[in-house]
Amino acid sequence: MRSHADHGAAQRLASTAVLLAIACALGYLESVLMPPLPLPGMRLGLAYIVIVIALAIHGPRVAAVVSLGRVLLVALAVGTLGGPQFLLSFGGAVAALAAMVVLSYAGPSFSVVGWSVLGSAAHVVGQLLLAAALVSSTAPLALLPVSLALSVPLGLAVGYTARLLVSRIPDLSLSAAGR
Amino acid sequence: MTRGDVLVVIAIVAVALLSVPSAGAMLAPAGGAAVLHGPGGSTTVDLSSPGTYVVEGRSGQVEFRVADGEVFATSAECPDHLCVGMGAAAPGRPVVCAPNGVSASIVSGRGEGLDAVSR
């Protein structure tokens, strides 16, 4: 059984807002400051550090608010809301969140590192499937092998970073993140 | 990492390796033609005939150039211009502008399938 920190409603709301703000800042900075990776749409996924932390500390509902809220707010900031880029980001976020939530309920056999790796892979698969639908062609799916291979080290980096950060936060009772 | 995490990594790497033949099959070996896809339809272009092609995308135009048997994007009206930086399309490696819904992929010269599809 996974345990979550015992916060009051106000504390949870404040914590969610802080996590959402950090995720938005990381997502926005990554999109405008960092050079793109060799594959189209690939990012380091810095915002997922925060999303994984939100899932570990508060659970799926807060993680969903942080993840999907981040996509919406960053799209508003860069002016892509409702466009194809937003659809790709949203689809990837939904796929990643679903995968991480499923694994988080799978038991103590999986830690935040495993959640992050699976979420990273699900993100790229979701985006490539959506891209294929947008261009009405299977051509984007030809990028699947390399994208999946790249998603593993990126997911590991995000997962280990999230675990390190959570371990530095006092007064939290975490069974999954502590491993 | 737990044992379960290691299994997740192994499973993803295995899926990536297993998807290599399928990914290659989606785009046939290099031939003399490329297919330019866009929201308005698809066009087959002959790679032996140099030229410039403009494809109307969802939010702008993407310009492709055929030269020296290759097709590559030369300009795009999208935020990142990732397609322009991808270089020439190759079998298994299409040039894709996802925001515009436009792509250029190499197809076989053996005449498999349709030459063009208009919608």
pLDDT tens digits, A24-46: 999 888 877 766 666 666 678 89
A vs B, Cβ pairs < 8 A, gives 128
Residue A94: which pLDDT band, with cuts at 50, 70 and 90? very high
Kindly tell me the burial class for residue B64, based on how many C-beta atoms sit within 10 Å of its own C-beta (0-12, 13-18, 19 or more). Answer: buried
Cα-based distances in Å from A87 to A44, A45, A81, B98, B115: 19, 17, 8, 10, 30
Cα–Cα distance between B99 and A175 in angstroms, integer?
41
What are the residue ranges of helices labelled H in chain A? Answer: 9-33, 47-57, 60-78, 84-104, 112-135, 144-167
Residue B106: which pLDDT band, with cuts at 50, 70 and 90? confident
Q: Extract the tokens encoding A83.
A: 């466009």
Q: Which of B1, B79, B83 sits opposite A111 (nearest CB)?
A: B1
Average pLDDT over residues B92-100: 86
Average pLDDT over residues B29-55: 83
Give the per-residue pLDDT at A178. Answer: 40
Cβ–Cβ gap A135/B103 under 8 Å: yes
Cβ–Cβ gap A140/B94 under 8 Å: yes
Give the per-residue pLDDT at B69. Answer: 84
User: Min CA distance, A66 vs chain B (Å)?
Assistant: 24
Query: Which positions in chain A touch B37 (Cβ < 8 Å)?
Result: 135-137, 139
User: Min CA distance, B52 vs chain A (Å)?
Assistant: 20
Give the per-residue pLDDT at B112. Answer: 40
Decide if A111 touches B, using CB distance below 8 A: yes
Residue B44: its H or E element: strand B41-46
Give the per-residue pLDDT at A91. Answer: 93
User: Min CA distance, A143 vs chain B (Å)?
Assistant: 7
Average pLDDT over residues A140-147: 87
pLDDT > 70? residue A93: yes
For CA atoms A149, A155, A157, A159, the dihedral sign is negative
Closest residue in B to A82 (Cα–Cα): B99
Cα–Cα distance between A134 and B38 in angstroms, integer?
9
Cβ–Cβ gap A83/B59 under 8 Å: yes
Residue A59: which pLDDT band, with cuts at 50, 70 and 90? very high
User: Min CA distance, A110 vs chain B (Å)?
Assistant: 5
Q: Which of A41-45, B44-48, B114-118 has the lowest mean pLDDT?
A: B114-118
Cβ–Cβ gap A40/B15 under 8 Å: no
Residue A5: which pLDDT band, with cuts at 50, 70 and 90? low
Give the per-residue pLDDT at A1. Answer: 44
pLDDT > 90? residue B117: no
Return the percentage of chain B with pLDDT > 70, whole number.
83
Decide if A102 touches B, using CB distance below 8 A: no
Cα-based distances in Å from B77 to A3, A6, A29, B73, B83: 48, 49, 22, 11, 10
